[in-house]
């Protein structure tokens, strides 16, 4: 087959980074006797020819050669090649076809169609791979049995054969998964496969992990048919699986070289490290249990039961993965998560530092609802200080340091001053100080101690260097949140330096901080005024907002605001007009016209400004815009309900929309984040309760 390699016009095709001319060399390198050359070629193939799962025409054209390599027993690393084939096919099926197997309507790139057609033509080869003498090849091939074999009877026979022949837990779990994939992909196989899975789940002769897999994959095939007995059965099998499988320590993360400190901001390096951690799977049953949670979807109570069992697994890797899944549930679905929060908090134990660090991370991420875990976090920090002293934030043991810092950040986000000593230690030692800066703004009670230290850090930042803007912006945001006017001189100095070095992002952040200080920032008025005509698209509206906040001079501010309403910064101008209110009546004609704008992120802030300035007479038009925007784009909901809250009884027509919003099981609002959703729910309930209250109240109106 390889003699055909150079007869293909690879230069006419492209991969993720340009021409596909390098593909022949990559394919040749995959059969190299040198392990490093093979590794580099495989990484490049995944990175360019199968980039993030993409399947290009050159990917499809590579398949015959990959098959030849995988079929040749003399080829090293055959299992890696079989896994690559399965990945290409899986991505082709998921991205290029509907659930019923038809091509997606918008005509997928031809690579997907070509690749899947070729792999299905060679489906029987995967049955051969699944019987290979190399157990790694067999393991890699199992997924292909469900993806590429179109003969339902043949595929079911091979899968039954594999269950009988394979004794490794991973191979058995993958075989059961492949069976469910087959049932979902080939309707003719559905009946016999689902019955087989039901029998397998009930068979006491099978090991508990296989029975659990069969139960879960049966639920995956028909999530609407999950009965009340399924979750209790799954919990029992999960408990039995935990007893049956060997307990292993958590495998250490691969050692990667630290990036040079002058080449990348520490925040960016940390985000990549976090992404690397979150792509790791620590237990053999994790993928299976994720499938179960996906099948259960909005059933928060049942999923909490499963997670509670996972969190008490004797295996630390299973506990770690369970903590992470708990966070994903709480961040994605609404409900009373108190029980789950407390179970996660139970994982804060010094004997289990890596799991504890993940638990603290989840509690920090879920801080809007994490109050029930407050005392557990404080107790954990107290134990660490007692055992390791006051400098544990900078402990040389990386796992101890990480778990402590995460717990401090979680407690700080709850506004608990028991986090302050560690934050001060971080700022004084300058060890991972940026991590303390990110949460310092949640502790205004400690502003007298935090502000001088934050200001000192801000003074030390050299804005003439690369990678400093993220640190400066974070400190400026923290100072603004703390609200202590003592920070104004440091912010003014940072603003001057940012302007001097043309650091527009820092300039904008400094202006926003000065706006937060209001009239206390009057000393910076000359600099602020000079920036109201800046050429940078983000600096100009920030300067106008700071000008109003510091001087409250309507005569000076209004012309600038009206210019912004005619510019690309309508939303920024409208938000400031909300703060000014009735005195900004000169903006009313323009705001009324902007209610017809074709972008809801312009219409909504303009409607809010129109209400604040024009009051009751503008209510019908404002309500119409708000309700339509929220119905069409739920991401606007936070802005909409904030305005409805200010409208008082006049918001009554929005009651059905608000009730419908609260009835949704999945989190909503801006970015569907837990922060925005909790705020959305809180304000929506407040508005509903007020409007439904029988007590009379005076209409909330604005008059010019």
Burial of 37 (0-12, 13-18, 19+ CB in 10 A): middle
Percent of the chain surpassing pLDDT 70: 95
Helix/strand/coil for 567: coil
pLDDT at 278: 75
- CB of 124 closer than 8 Å to CB of 158: no
Percent of the chain surpassing pLDDT 90: 86
Q: What letter would DSSP give residue 18? A: E
Residue 178 pLDDT exceeds 70: yes
Mean pLDDT on 175-197:
94
pLDDT at 560: 95
Helix/strand/coil for 19: strand
Which range is least confidently modeled, 258-272, 476-490, 609-623? 258-272
Return left, alpha or beta for 335; rule: phi > 0 is left, psi -120 to 50 is alpha, else beta: left
Residue (of 404, 406, 368) closest to 384 by Cα position = 404
- Provide the whole-model pTM: 0.90
Structure tokens at 277: 């951690």
Burial of 254 (0-12, 13-18, 19+ CB in 10 A): exposed
Half-sphere exposure of 420 (CA within 13 A, CB side): 16
Distance of CA 473 to the CA centre of its chain: 22
Q: How far apart are CA 625 and CA 463, in angstroms?
A: 43
Mean pLDDT on 615-642:
96
Going from the C-alpha of 218 to that of each of 4, 224, 298, 529, the distances in angstroms are 44, 11, 18, 66
Burial of 642 (0-12, 13-18, 19+ CB in 10 A): middle
Q: How confident is the model at residue 269 (pLDDT cuts 50, 70, 90)?
A: confident
- CB of 282 closer than 8 Å to CB of 318: yes
Residue 703 pLDDT exceeds 50: no
Distance of CA 500 to the CA centre of its chain: 36
Residue 538 pLDDT exceeds 80: yes
Residue 704 pLDDT exceeds 50: no
Go through 264-288 and write b for each residue having 16 or more CB atoms within 10 A of its CB, e for each that does not: ebbbeeeeeeeeebeeeebbbbbeb
**pLDDT tens by residue, 429-466:** 999 999 999 999 999 999 999 999 999 999 999 999 88
- CB of 218 closer than 8 Å to CB of 197: yes
- CB of 428 closer than 8 Å to CB of 453: yes
Residue 266 pLDDT exceeds 90: no
**pLDDT tens by residue, 372-405:** 999 999 999 999 999 999 999 999 999 999 999 9
pLDDT at 280: 83
Q: How far apart are CA 150 and CA 101, in angstroms?
A: 12
Which range is least confidently modeled, 188-192, 415-419, 564-568? 564-568
**pLDDT tens by residue, 58-109:** 999 999 999 999 999 999 999 999 999 999 999 998 876 554 444 444 455 6
Mean pLDDT on 251-266:
66
Structure tokens at 223: 């999530």
């Amino acid at each position: 087959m390889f003699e055909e390699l150079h007869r293909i016009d690879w230069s006419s095709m492209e991969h993720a980074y340009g021409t596909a001319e390098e593909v022949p060399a990559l394919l040749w390198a995959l059969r190299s006797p040198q392990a490093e050359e093979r590794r580099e070629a495989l990484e490049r193939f995944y990175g360019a020819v199968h980039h993030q799962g993409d399947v290009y025409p050159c990917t499809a054209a590579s398949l015959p050669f990959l098959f030849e390599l995988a079929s040749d027993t003399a080829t090293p690393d055959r299992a890696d090649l079989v896994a690559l084939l399965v990945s290409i096919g899986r991505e082709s099926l998921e991205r290029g076809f509907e659930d019923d197997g038809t091509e997606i309507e918008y005509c997928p790139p031809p690579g997907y169609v070509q690749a899947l057609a070729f792999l299905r033509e060679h489906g029987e080869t995967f049955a051969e791979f699944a019987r290979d003498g190399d157990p790694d090849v067999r393991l890699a091939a199992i997924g292909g049995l469900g993806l590429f074999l179109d003969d339902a009877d043949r595929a079911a026979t091979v899968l039954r054969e594999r269950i009988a022949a394979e004794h490794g837990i991973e191979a058995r779990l993958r075989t059961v998964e492949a069976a469910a994939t087959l049932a979902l992909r080939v309707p003719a196989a559905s009946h016999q496969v689902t019955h087989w899975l039901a029998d397998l789940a009930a068979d006491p002769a099978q090991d508990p992990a296989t029975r659990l897999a069969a139960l879960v994959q049966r639920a995956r095939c028909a999530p609407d048919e999950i009965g009340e007995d399924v979750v209790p059965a799954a919990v029992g099998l999960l408990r039995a699986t935990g007893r049956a499988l060997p307990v292993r320590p958590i495998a250490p993360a691969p050692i990667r070289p630290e990036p040079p400190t002058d080449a990348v901001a520490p925040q960016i390096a940390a985000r990549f490290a976090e992404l690397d951690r979150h792509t790791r799977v620590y237990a053999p049953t994790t993928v299976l249990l994720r499938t179960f949670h996906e099948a259960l979807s909005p059933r928060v109570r049942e999923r909490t039961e499963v997670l509670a069992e996972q969190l008490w697994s004797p295996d630390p890797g299973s506990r770690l993965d369970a903590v992470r899944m708990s966070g994903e549930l709480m961040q994605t679905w609404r409900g009373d998560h108190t029980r789950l929060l407390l179970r996660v908090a139970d994982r804060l134990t010094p004997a289990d530092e890596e799991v504890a660090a993940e638990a603290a991370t989840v509690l920090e991420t879920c801080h809007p609802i994490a109050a029930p875990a407050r005392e557990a976090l404080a107790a954990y920090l107290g134990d660490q200080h007692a055992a390791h002293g006051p400098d544990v934030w900078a402990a040389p043991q990386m796992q101890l340091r990480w778990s402590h810092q995460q717990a401090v950040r979680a407690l700080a986000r709850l506004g608990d001053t028991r986090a302050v000593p560690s934050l001060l230690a971080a700022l004084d030692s300058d060890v991972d100080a940026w991590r303390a800066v990110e949460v310092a703004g949640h502790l205004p009670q400690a502003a007298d101690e935090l502000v001088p230290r934050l200001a000192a850090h801000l003074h030390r930042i050299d804005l003439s260097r690369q990678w400093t803007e993220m640190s400066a912006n974070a400190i400026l945001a923290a100072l603004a949140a703390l609200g202590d006017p003592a920070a104004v001189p440091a912010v003014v100095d940072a603003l001057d330096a940012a302007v001097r070095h043309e650091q527009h992002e820092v300039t904008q952040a400094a202006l926003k901080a000065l706006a937060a200080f209001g009239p206390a920032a009057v000393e910076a008025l000359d600099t602020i005024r000079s920036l109201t005509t800046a050429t940078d698209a983000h600096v100009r509206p920030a300067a106008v907002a700071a000008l109003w906040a510091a001087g409250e001079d309507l005569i000076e501010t209004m012309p600038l605001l009206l210019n912004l309403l005619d510019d690309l910064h309508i939303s920024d101008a409208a938000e400031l007009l909300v703060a000014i209110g009735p005195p900004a009546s000169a903006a009313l004609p323009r705001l009324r016209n902007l209610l017809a704008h074709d972008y809801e992120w312009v219409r909504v802030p303009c409607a809010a400004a129109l209400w604040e300035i024009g009051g009751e007479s503008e209510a019908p038009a404002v309500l119409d815009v708000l309700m339509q925007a929220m119905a069409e784009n739920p991401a606007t909901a936070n802005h909409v309900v904030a305005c409805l809250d200010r409208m008082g009884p006049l918001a009554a027509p929005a009651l059905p929309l608000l009730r419908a919003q609260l009835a949704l099981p999945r989190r909503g609002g801006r970015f569907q984040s837990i922060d925005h959703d909790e705020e959305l729910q809180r304000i929506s309930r407040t508005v509903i309760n007020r409007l439904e209250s029988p007590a009379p109240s005076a209409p909330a109106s604005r008059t010019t």
